[in-house]
Structures are given as C-alpha cells and as structure tokens.
Amino acid sequence: MIFNIITNPLTHQKHAVSKQARSRVGALFMEMGTGKSLTAIILVHLRQKQIGNVVWFAPVSLKQTVRHEILKHTDTPKNQIILFDNKTNMRMIPHDRAWYVIGIESMSQSDRLKLTANAIIRADSMVIVDESTYIKGHRAARTCWITDISKKSRYRLILTGTPLTQGVVDLFAQMRFLSPKILGYSSFYSFARNHLEYSDRFPGMIVAAHNVEWLAAKIQPYVYQVTKNECLDLPQKIYDTYYFSMTWEQRAAYEQAKHKILLDIDSDQFESYTIFRLFTVLQKIVSGYYTESDGKIIDINHNRIQILLHVVDQIPKNEKIIVWAKYIYDLKEIQSGLDAQFGEGSSGLFYGKLNEQARAEVVKEWKDPCGARFFIATPSCAGHGLTLNEACHVIFYNNGFKYSERVQAEDRCHRLGQDRKVLYTDIYCSESIDERIAASLTKKEDIVSSFKRQVDNIKDKGKLKKLIQSL
C-alpha cells in the first residue's frame, strides 16, 4: 500500500508520531478535537512499506467518519477503502485493498463477519481499534474476538480520548490487545489480585485501586496522551466532523423526494422557490423524519441521534454543551435522547415559540453550575445577542442554509471572556444534502443562493435533472 499524506500535522501530532514510531504497538489517548485519526494515519504512512493492509475497528456509527478521515488526509483512492456491513462475507470482499473498516459491535453479532475479518488480518497488517473503550470489558465477546484475531498482526494501535471511564480496571483489556507483555499479566484475575480491591458487601464493585503508579510506569513507553487545552498550538476555534450513513428507509424517502421534483421539471413547474422546498425536505429526511401534505410528521429510522450521543460521551462530564439544530422537531428529539441517557432535566430548549420570560429561564438554568448541562437551540432564534461562554464544546446537529447564521451561532461562546479553546463538532450524513451544505459553508456562501445560480445557468432539462439527482 502506497499513499501520500495531504494534511500538515500540528506540533503535538508530530510529537505523538515521533514517540509511537519507536514501537510496533501503541496507544493514542488524545482528547476529542486533538486529531487522533490523522495521527494514526501518519503512523500508517510511516510504515506503509512494511504494511500490507490496515484493519480499522471502530464503533458501527463511526465507520463513515473513519472513511472520510482517510480520504480527507490522504490521496487514497475511494476503492481502496472497504467498509464492512451486515452482508460482508469472504466471497464478496476483495482481499487486495489497503483499508478495511469494521464495526466493533459487529464482532459479537456475526460469525460470517468474524471469519472474514480473520481472513484479511495477516502478519503484515496494522490493526487499529478506534474508541478502544469499546473493548475495555475483558470478558466481552467482541473484546475476545478482536484481541484473538489481531494477535498475528505485527502492528497494533488503540485510539481513545477517554481511556479510563471506570478507573484502572479499563486498562487491562486495552493493553492486552496491544500486548500482554506490557502489563505482564496472563489473565485479568492476576491483574485484579494486584491492583483492584472489591467490596465485601456488593460483589463485583471495585472500591479501590492499588499500585497505580506502577501501572502508569508500565504503560508509559507505549502511550501518548494529550488534552485539548494542553495543545498550545491549536487555534482558538477547533473543528471536528462525524459522519453517518442513511438507513434504507431514509434512502428510499430521499430518492422519492428528488423524484417528485424531477416531475416538476418535466411539467415546466420548476421555480426558484422549489430549490428551498427540496433542500428542506431532503434535510429533514436525513435528520429522521418528513412532513406529509396534511402536516403529519412521519418518523424514519436514522443514525444521527446515535452519533450525537457518541460525541457527548467523549466530552468530560463536567463540561457544559451547546447543541444547535435547525428544526423544533430536532430539538425535541435531541432533548429526549439526552434526557434518556443523562437524566430528565439535563437539557433546556431555546426556540422561537417560547416567550421572552421562558427563554430567559432556560438560559439562567443552563448558566447555573448546578443546572442543566445541555443548551439545545435553533440558530435562527438563539444565534444573536446571547453570550454563552460557559461552554467550550458546541455540536451542530445539522446546519441552516445561511453562512451568516452559522457564524453567529459559533460566536455565542467565542467572544470576549472566553478563555478556552472552543471545539465545534458537525454531524453530517454521507452522500446527501449535508455534504453540499458543508461545502457551501466552507466557501462562506449560502447554499440556496449558490445552488440557484447553478440552476439559472442551466437551460437543458437533462442537465438540470442530473444536477438534482446529484444531491
């Protein structure tokens, strides 16, 4: 496998690569927003003459994100990246590709997929486990399978921003995946005897950890760790992106919506306002719903909310978070998902239909150190006038069509008085209107206006249909 890196690494990423290049196994414990994916890709690049392929295990919801990171930072052709799905088997999968991305959860659900993964991992493979806390359970089926089939690979790497979600007990399985020689224990029980103290009253409850300094010294040669605020060369604004794929229900509704617009073109009813209507319908579909002609909302199975919850899980629990979403329906689904995971009352909604007093109460409750953790709002309503410097983590669940609206939303917590770097995380649906919106925002333009200019320059119906189909 031969490819080039097309992104310049930051200083802390160079330090990470310099340290990890000394060993064939290693861990990147890098906080969200510090670029651990690029660091891992650079490590692959350094060893590309020794590596036959890369097998990248990631949570199922993040497979598309891994693919986009590879394409973003390298000149790898798209056909060199294979994403495993629930239909993958040894007969259909090509065995001569450079990158294979496999869902971690799938390794405990499909024997066919396990056998296929085992077949493509070779001695000259580099195996990466992204969000390695997914294999922290030493007895979990997926942990055992991934660890066992990866033993034959010479190069192994784990990535996570939260290595110890439950304490030092989480270290054992992650280090065992890299090499049992790191900690020197052949089993979890010998590890536990030396380092964990259990409750006499509550079986399985860990009440204390021992010899932690010894553990830290053992893993130190193999671990590079950095937090966002330690990366002094990072800009004040940091951007991160997560991707997901449409479900088949979404894809069917998405294509049907485009088909209706194509009928308008055939009947000469295509008007400029139709663009806005089309974009709105498509954006709602990739967010998990659509509205029928009688106003009834139809839910569609989707993965966007799972990505949001995953992103939140990577953020320290004491941090306030702002979540921006375009539609009121989105706000309520986000609140429901966050309250289910973090407790009722953990979030407050801020949108246009609330009166002034109600909005003030939402802001006051969120700003209270002991109050709601999540401020969920529409940029059209909360994107002006507010100062929300209490947060340095901002999630754009989806984006509006106006660049100015995006800038205003970003600046709510990036203004005088903010003394921390702010991380902005976008959630996008692959191969959808989301990517066109993202491209327009990058160019600092409004998507509807820019698309209208394209349409106005097209006189041929056939070319106009192809443009609509490309969305």
Mean pLDDT of 291-314: 92
Give the largest CA-CA distance in the chain.
79
Which pLDDT belongs to residue 266? Answer: 63
- What pTM, to 2 d.p., does this model score? 0.83
Please indicate, yes or no, whether residues 198 and 249 belong to a single structural domain of this protein: no
Boundary-marking domain end, from 200, 230, 260 = 230
Which pLDDT belongs to residue 229? Answer: 81
Tell me how far apart the alpha carbons of residues 16 and 36 are, in angstroms, rounded to a whole number. 9
Residue 385, φ and ψ in degrees, nearest 5: 85, -30
**Residue 1 included in any domain:** no
Which pLDDT belongs to residue 268? Answer: 61
Which pLDDT belongs to residue 450? Answer: 79
Please indicate, yes or no, whether residues 345 and 433 belong to a single structural domain of this protein: yes
**Residue 26 included in any domain:** yes
Over residues 414-443, the pLDDT tens digits come to: 887 888 899 999 999 999 999 999 998 988
Please indicate, yes or no, whether residues 201 and 327 belong to a single structural domain of this protein: no
Over residues 22-79, the pLDDT tens digits come to: 999 999 999 888 999 999 999 999 999 999 999 999 998 889 999 999 999 999 999 9
Please indicate, yes or no, whether residues 252 and 151 belong to a single structural domain of this protein: no
Which pLDDT belongs to residue 409? Answer: 93
The yes-or-no verdict on residue 264 having pLDDT over 80 is no
The yes-or-no verdict on residue 270 having pLDDT over 80 is no
Which pLDDT belongs to residue 418? Answer: 85
The yes-or-no verdict on residue 452 having pLDDT over 80 is no
Q: Is 169 helix (H, G, I), strand (E, B) or coil?
A: helix
CB atoms within 10 A of CB 319: 14
Please indicate, yes or no, whether residues 102 and 220 belong to a single structural domain of this protein: yes
The yes-or-no verdict on residue 248 having pLDDT over 70 is yes
CA-CA distances (angstroms) from residue 43 to 57, 158, 163, 284, 300? 16, 12, 20, 39, 40
The secondary element (H helix, E strand) that includes residue 429 is strand 422-429
Please indicate, yes or no, whether residues 278 and 189 belong to a single structural domain of this protein: no
Query: 19: domain range?
Result: 11-230
Tell me how far apart the alpha carbons of residues 334 and 287 are, in angstroms, rounded to a whole number. 11
Q: What is the DSSP string of 346-390?
A: SEEEE-TTS-HHHHHHHHHHHHSTTS-SEEEE-HHHHSSS---TT
Please indicate, yes or no, whether residues 314 and 178 belong to a single structural domain of this protein: no
**Residue 462 included in any domain:** yes
Residue 449, φ and ψ in degrees, nearest 5: -65, -45
**Residue 178 included in any domain:** yes
Percent of residues, the chain, with pLDDT higher than 70: 97
Please indicate, yes or no, whether residues 153 and 261 belong to a single structural domain of this protein: no
Boundary-marking domain end, from 198, 230, 262 = 230
Please indicate, yes or no, whether residues 391 and 315 belong to a single structural domain of this protein: yes
**Residue 377 included in any domain:** yes
Are the C-beta atoms of 90 and 271 separated by less than 8 Å? no
Sheet holding 99-103, edge to edge: 81-83, 99-103, 53-58, 125-130, 155-160, 25-30, 223-226
Confidence band, pLDDT 50/70/90 cuts, at residue 385? confident
Please indicate, yes or no, whether residues 140 and 251 belong to a single structural domain of this protein: no
Confidence band, pLDDT 50/70/90 cuts, at residue 163? confident
Which pLDDT belongs to residue 245? Answer: 94
Which pLDDT belongs to residue 38? Answer: 96
Task: Report which of 45, 93, 37 is spatially closest to residue 67, judged by C-alpha positions.
Answer: 37
Boundary-marking domain end, from 210, 230, 250 = 230
Average pLDDT over the chain reads 91
**Structural domain count, the chain:** 2
Mean pLDDT of 196-219: 89
Which pLDDT belongs to residue 188? Answer: 94
Q: What's the Rg (C-alpha) of the chain?
A: 24
The yes-or-no verdict on residue 269 having pLDDT over 70 is no
Q: Is 270 helix (H, G, I), strand (E, B) or coil?
A: coil
Please indicate, yes or no, whether residues 57 and 74 belong to a single structural domain of this protein: yes
Are the C-beta atoms of 311 and 242 separated by less than 8 Å? yes
Tell me how far apart the alpha carbons of residues 415 and 206 are, in angstroms, rounded to a whole number. 43
Confidence band, pLDDT 50/70/90 cuts, at residue 262? confident
Please say whether the dihedral angle defined by the alpha carbons of residues 163, 424, 345 and 134, taken in this order, is positive or negative.
Answer: negative
Which pLDDT belongs to residue 281? Answer: 92
Percent of residues, the chain, with pLDDT higher than 90: 66
- CATH at 208: 3.40.50.10810
Please say whether the dihedral angle defined by the alpha carbons of residues 402, 403, 404 and 408, taken in this order, is positive or negative.
Answer: positive
Please indicate, yes or no, whether residues 143 and 118 belong to a single structural domain of this protein: yes
Which pLDDT belongs to residue 267? Answer: 59
Which pLDDT belongs to residue 48? Answer: 94
Residue with tokens 């330690």: 230
CB atoms within 10 A of CB 47: 16
* CB neighbour list of residue 144: distance below 8 Å, 6 or more residues apart: none
Structure tokens belonging to residue 226: 């950095």
Confidence band, pLDDT 50/70/90 cuts, at residue 220? very high
- CATH at 406: 3.40.50.300
Confidence band, pLDDT 50/70/90 cuts, at residue 18? very high
Which pLDDT belongs to residue 81? Answer: 97
Give the rounded distance of the alpha carbon of 388 from its chain centre: 24
**Residue 3 included in any domain:** no
Over residues 330-358, the pLDDT tens digits come to: 999 999 999 999 999 999 999 989 888 89
